Structure 1
Amino acid sequence: MEAVALANAGFEADSPQLLVPYAFLVRSGISPEDLGRPSVVEYDTAGGPVAMYVYRGACRVAVVEQDRVSREVEADLVISPFEREALMNDSLIEELGVVLLSPRSGLWRFVDDPPDCTRRSYRPQLW
């Protein structure tokens, strides 16, 4: 399945993690039971601590662009009861070879793109 995800370098973890809203699962027809047994992990957020379900190694993530596709990375799937966007953490961003050039403007490139290559982010996909 394809979805737009925000590269959030401030979302830090030791392993690659893709955070998705619970609505993402519902609209995608994915049952939490099919993902295995989750861990419950407390995350520090801007709004305070939030407990979320984490399914270790439950997904494979790649960046899909018109001219290329990154390598696939195995990631933990984090289910958020509050977030409305999918978020990639710092470890996943790095493993996918994404370099953030100007985060506010949405400019980035792959680590092996030519230095003059600048890519633009997609519009947010809210769930």
Structure 2
Amino acid sequence: MGEKYSKEDHDKCKKVAEVFQELYDVLGDTCVLDAGEFGFVYLTYYREQKSCFDRNKVYRNAEELFEALWDEWLYSEVMQPVYGTEDAEAGFEEIYRKLPDERKQEYAVRKQQFMDQAELKQE
């Protein structure tokens, strides 16, 4: 099964998963589950008709889990205001690039707040 997954690794991942609770509440089709010795499973795109998630990935590293959840949080924050409009067709990268620097700075501050809550250090 590879490297030993320690209690410390588990506790760090758990803290990260808890920090992003608002993400799961907003999206409604995403969650992170504690799979014990296997790690934390990040489930996305729940399909009610099939009663399953379209994507899943297991994380055993808190920093990697944090980055995956941060990316999803940022994507939803940037794209939410333009869903259903022609602007959405430009895609995340283009929309983010056009944001005012002040807004990008707000996102950087929010990321640091999440990192502080998760007790992670910025690399």
What TM-score do you get using the length of structure 1 for normalisation? Answer: 0.24
What TM-score do you get using the length of structure 2 for normalisation? Answer: 0.24
Greater share of strand: 1
Give the structure with higher Rg (CA). 2
Greater share of helix: 2
